Every structure is written in C-alpha cells, then in structure tokens.
A and B are shown apart, each in its own frame.
Chain A
C-alpha cells in the first residue's frame, strides 16, 4: 500500500528514497538502475523494495 519503511532483508531505511525514485524513474524517464545507484541503494535486497513497489492508497481509498 505505502512503500515499506525499511528493507525486509537487511533493515536499511529505503522509504526515504521512494519519492525521488518515483518522480525520476516511474513518472520520469530516467533509467531505474542509474537512479538507484545515485541514491546509494546498492544491495539487490534494497533495490527490489523500490523496484517492485506499487502505491495502492488511491486504489483502496474509495472503499474507506
């Protein structure tokens, strides 16, 4: 629903990178690989947290 605060595997805080990642790689047209490298998200456990995330608040909120 909301981006996880921390990486499930290693526990580093990945939530703080979400908005920039979303703006640049999802809505923008930058290469996600380059954006993650620039943000300092190096391990593949942390990378998958951002790459595979989907915001669902908009989908769920009408049923509130």
Chain B
C-alpha cells in the first residue's frame, strides 16, 4: 500500500460495529469483506458420537443444531484442523441448552449459554460427545465468523437550493452513513429519509470515491476487532505468498 488510509468508527460494540475506511479501492474493500466471511476460521462441532438420544429429534437433527452453536475461538492459539472435544448430558424433564455443553478446553466454549438444543420430556435423555474442528467459512457456513458483513459507499449530501413551492413531496430514502459537513451521520437518526433532515430543500447525493462504510457483525466466536484484523492478516499473508512465488 502506497497511499494512506484511515479508519473511523461510527458504532463500536463487542459483536457489532460500523466503521468508515477511506483511501482503499473498491477491490480491496471487497477483498476484506470476503476474507471476513470465508477466511477467518472458527471452531464448530463437526463429528458427534451419540451415546443416548431418546428425544423427539433424530441424532442428525441434534448434530446439526450442535454444529450451528457458535464456539469461542481465540485467534492464533490453534491451527486449522485442530480438534477440541465437547460433551453434553441432560436428562428430562428439562431443556438442553448450549450452556450445558461441557468443554475439554476452556478457550473453546459456547459463545451463548441460552440457545435451546432440544426440549426433553420425562424419561428422555440426551448424552453425546462431539468434536469441534477449526476450519474456514469456505468449507462450511457453520465456520463463518462474520455474519451479514457488508459495505456501502460513503455518501455526501449537498443542499443545492430550495424546493419549488408546489413540488411533489417525495421521500429521499438513504441507508447507511452520510457525510455532512465533514461529520458522519447514521441515516437512522433521520429515519432514513433525507426530507426529514432538510425539509423543503433540494438536495443532491454523491458517492465519495474510495470511502466505504463497513457493517460487521460476528456470531460471538470473537469480537469485531479480532475478526477484522484476522481478515486483513489473512489477506496480507496471501499477498506476501504471491509476491514471493512470482519473484525471479
């Protein structure tokens, strides 16, 4: 990268964030998005050994549900293909939750404790052992760390004059984040309709070149910060690999 780029947060929480990146090309922005979805590995249950399952669901259905439960994944602690054994043992009448999963490694445990796995009636029981595997989103969607990751152009709003007296009152719907006098404003603050912000004004909206607003959510495997940095590291790693491979 020869040009400078800058990052500015609009919203920042553990599992959800919105930030503006300036000075990157559309191709690079898309590269980051794709890396966040497909290249950042997370742990997910892959093999289940059922000891007893007298619930109303088949073993396969229970296994699918276990596979979809997000597991915390410390970045750089494990390698792709590493396995961690988990187990669950719940007897009815009770509901088996993701929080009932017992882990053999405290670094890898369910990110949420209250996802219902299966409701058990009297005399029903679920006992199973499962292997969680670290893999990438491109292998299976259950390994995706980023959820609903996307970006939009940052847009600039310009007031060009007043509306004509009997002009049609049409809504001017915008979504995402706009830049107004150098200030970043989320469109939700004016109900996504520019006419609420500038009543009776004629406005023009332009895309700002090479400025993108990313919206990133994670499934709880790691924080947004870890996801974004891991995605960029993976891009960087592949770029270096390519550079070395084509050197004479």
Chain A interface (Cβ < 8 Å from any Cβ of B):
1-3, 5-6, 10-13, 15-16, 18-19, 43, 55, 57, 60-61, 64
Contact = CB atoms under 8 A, between A and B. Distances in A.
Contacts of A16: 98, 112, 114-115
B56 A19 contact: no
Contact of A11 (B114, B121, B147): B147
A10 B148 contact: yes
Contacts of A1: 56-57, 61
Given A11-B147, A11-B148, A55-B119, A2 B112 contact: no
Contacts, number: 60
B217 interface: yes
B10 interface: no
Interface string B142-160: 0010011000000000000
A11 B116 contact: no
A57 B147 CA distance: 29
A55 B119 CA distance: 10
